[in-house]
Amino acid sequence: MPWTILALVGVLWRLRFVSDYATGRVKKVVSCRHFLTGILALVCSLPYSAMAAQVREATVSAAPGTLVRWSEPGTKRCGMDGRYWPALQETCYYPVDLLHKPGLIKITRSGNGRSESAHISVEPYPYGTQEIDLGDIPQANPSPKDLRRNKRERELLNKVWWPKERPAMFELPLGKPAKPLPEGKDFGVKRIFNGKPDAQPHTGADYLTPLGTPVLAVADGTVIAAADLFFEGNAVFIDHGDGLITMSFHLSEINVKAGQKVLKGNTIGLVGTTGRSTGPHLFFGVRWHGARIDPRFLFEDPAKIPAVSP
């Protein structure tokens, strides 16, 4: 704000001088000049800390594929990258997409007649590379027919990622998708299948659970897709409201259908090794407000999620 005042004073000073000169009243510039000089002295006398406070915003660092929170009493609405959604229990959660490039993201929170903004500084993070031998399965060397099928499935899934806005049907932390749930692996890694780099990093986490283990809904929701897909195998996608989509891949069996309501803890399928898989495991993925993030953040105490400081 002070720098804006300085610039405006400078413009007014020049305009007044030009006006007076053009009308032959240059002598009047003297009194105006004394007045403007007083304003400049007042502005420049402000402490630097007071001036900086007018423009400084909190910044929190985060890696792609992670999550940031902002908790303040009375928070009702959150904003990020031009999109807005309701707060959860007076807390805003900002998911940073796995493919987001390094740089600043402006975020906002509002409530009780107040609005504040801050920034997330997205930092580079090396998730690493992994080489996998798929053997001679169709997903290792897709035929033209397989590729046409996959294209149709991508078009279907593009509609899944942006569901109709509806209230949240969950609280954090989420329930576990299997019991017991081993540590998730390989989120974000760049994979090389049979010597060929995959088109994108691994967008979910792999859980090495035994064949036939029940796969559970992590919260209440609505099944928006349940189908056998070329790369994902038997897959289930659930909309939990507030833009949160969870997905379970490579199932040996699907126990739900599209449009079905599910409750937290319901069995939606069984662990398998269908699709592009080298053995029994559960792929579990999350998209929140369109962002691909590591699901482990949603299974932990929310207090552990990096927060915007006052």
- 204 is written with which tokens? 């979910």
Mean pLDDT of 204-225: 97
List pLDDT tens digits, range 69-109. Answer: 999 999 999 999 889 999 999 999 999 999 999 999 999 99
List pLDDT tens digits, range 177-195. Answer: 999 999 999 999 999 999 9
**Rg, the chain, Cα only:** 27
In this prediction, residue 55 has a pLDDT band, given cuts at 50, 70 and 90, of: very low
Q: What is the mean pLDDT of the chain?
A: 85
- Check pLDDT > 90 for residue 298: yes
Q: What is 146-175 written as a DSSP string?
A: HHHHHHHHHHHHHHHSSPPP------SSPP
Query: Is there a contact between 283 and 249 (Cβ–Cβ < 8 Å)?
Result: yes
Single out the residue of 224, 272, 279 nearest to residue 249, CA to CA. 272
Considering 49-53, 56-60, 113-117, 279-283, the range whose residues carry the highest mean pLDDT is 279-283
In this prediction, residue 306 has a pLDDT band, given cuts at 50, 70 and 90, of: very high
Mean pLDDT of 31-42: 40
List pLDDT tens digits, range 124-153. Answer: 999 999 999 999 999 999 999 999 999 999
44-58, 107-121, 132-146: which range is least confident on average?
Answer: 44-58
- Check pLDDT > 60 for residue 28: no
* CATH code of the domain occupying 59-124: 2.60.40.10
**Cβ-based neighbours of 285, under 8 Å, separated by 6 or more:** 203, 204, 205, 246, 247, 249, 292, 295
Q: What pTM was computed for the model?
A: 0.81
Domain ranges of the chain: 2-53, 59-124, 129-302
* CATH code of the domain occupying 129-302: 2.70.70.10
- 253 is written with which tokens? 């069996």
